[in-house]
Amino acid sequence: MKAAKSWKTTAAGICAGIGILATQIGYLLDSNPETVLDWKTCLAGIGALGIGWFSRDNDKSSEDVGNKK
């Protein structure tokens, strides 16, 4: 399966994942001991990156993105 052939969904998934991870990194680096890193949310951010990377736009066929021969 070839990745990143559908730029719209790839960009959306990567932006969502980066946003989630950046928030968690902010919690990790602030000086407030009450805000802590949430590992479940970090995994969700990584999942969003993966979904964005491997997803396909609705207007692309499997042949267009190289998934069918």
Question: What residue segments make up the domains of the chain, in order of their start?
Answer: 7-54
What CA–CA distance (Å, rounded) separates 61 from 51?
Answer: 18
- For the stretch 12-68, pLDDT in tens is 889 999 999 999 999 999 989 898 889 999 999 999 998 888 876 666 666 666 666
The whole-number pLDDT of residue 55 equals: 76
> What is the distance, to the nearest Å, from the Cα of residue 32 to the centroid of all Cα atoms in its chain?
27
What does pTM read for this prediction?
A: 0.71
Closest CA to 26 of 36, 14, 16, 17: 36
- Cα 11 to Cα 14, 15, 49, 62: the distances in Å are 5, 6, 9, 19
69: pLDDT confidence band, cut at 50, 70 and 90?
A: low
The whole-number pLDDT of residue 7 equals: 80
